Amino acid sequence: MRLPHFYSVSSLDLASIKPMANALKKTDGISHAQALEHVSQSLGFDSYKQAVELLRIPVEKDEFHRIRINNTVLIMHAAGDLYISEFHLPPATITQDNKCFFMEGQVVWGECTLLAESSSDASWWLCKYDSGQKRIALAGANTEQMTLLSELLAIRCRPNPRASRFRSEDRIQSAVFMSLRQWAARYPDLAADQSSTQFGGWGELALMPDPQQ
């Protein structure tokens, strides 16, 4: 499912667009610009320009997935806990040194995480445990986008009753966990023995062969 102003991509794939385009240019005999467009579209973007916008925030070694919703960028990290950081899309490329100044919020990804709509102003939030513990504001998000986000993260979504069905097993089969498997395969020493109170044994799970393949 594709929605306007909603993009979901593995951080490793995002950071590899140029190397993949260089390889495609050589094998297919196309221009560099054509290769960049082709690789970007294969990752779910409408154009290379949209991928470049998401790359304004540097990709760090501990991150494994990015989701853009309108001008909010959610970056998922693997560092003890699995957690989500919120950034507003910067107007230009930022550096590792000033990246922390652009982070707006953070929440752990796991059993405690849920999406909730505020009854006062109909805004959407990523919360910890319940709607009273708002952590990440999702500016301008609509119900359709939030339903897709809940499915990608396999987390509850209130007041959407469909999204209350997710279990811990569903998170292991989610598209985002596929990116975590990709990250763990790249950095097995970092993934080994990793766990958290909200996602027990995630390092071992990410290193296991994908049963769906």
- In 152-179, which positions are buried (b, 16+ CB within 10 angstroms) versus exposed (e)? bbbbbbbeeeebeebeeeebbebebbbb
Q: What percent of the chain has pLDDT over 70?
A: 92
- Residues 52-79 have pLDDT tens digits of 999 999 999 999 999 999 999 999 999 8
Residue 53 lies in a domain: no
Classify residue 4: in a domain, yes or no: no
Residue 46 host element (H or E) = none
State the pTM of this model.
0.91
Please tell me the predicted confidence (pLDDT) of residue 160: 57
Higher pLDDT, 100 or 63: 63
**If pLDDT is split at 50, 70 and 90, which confidence band does 166 have?**
low
Q: How many domains does the chain have?
A: 1
pLDDT at site 193: 85
What average pLDDT score do residues 174-198 get?
A: 93
pLDDT of residue 165: 58
Pick the more confident residue, 117 or 3: 117
Domain annotation covers residue 86: yes
Residue 194 belongs to some domain of the structure = no
What local confidence, expressed as pLDDT, does residue 97 receive?
86
How far is it, in rounded angstroms, from Cα 80 to Cα 158?
Answer: 28
Distance, CA of 107 to CA of 103 (rounded, Å) = 12
**119-124-129-134 Cα dihedral, nearest 10 degrees:** -90
CA 154 to CA 180: how far, in whole Å? 14
Q: What is the CATH number of the domain that holds 89?
A: 2.30.29
**C-alpha–C-alpha distance, residues 140 and 167, integer Å:** 28
Residue 164 scores a pLDDT above 80: no
Closest CA to 73 of 163, 138, 170: 138
Q: Token digits for 139?
A: 């500016």
Task: Please say if the pLDDT value at position 197 is more than 50.
Answer: yes
Cα separation of 35 and 107, whole Å?
36
Q: Across residues 146-153, what is the average pLDDT?
A: 92
Residue 112's domain comprises: 61-170
* Residue 34 falls inside a structural domain: no
At 1 the pLDDT is 43
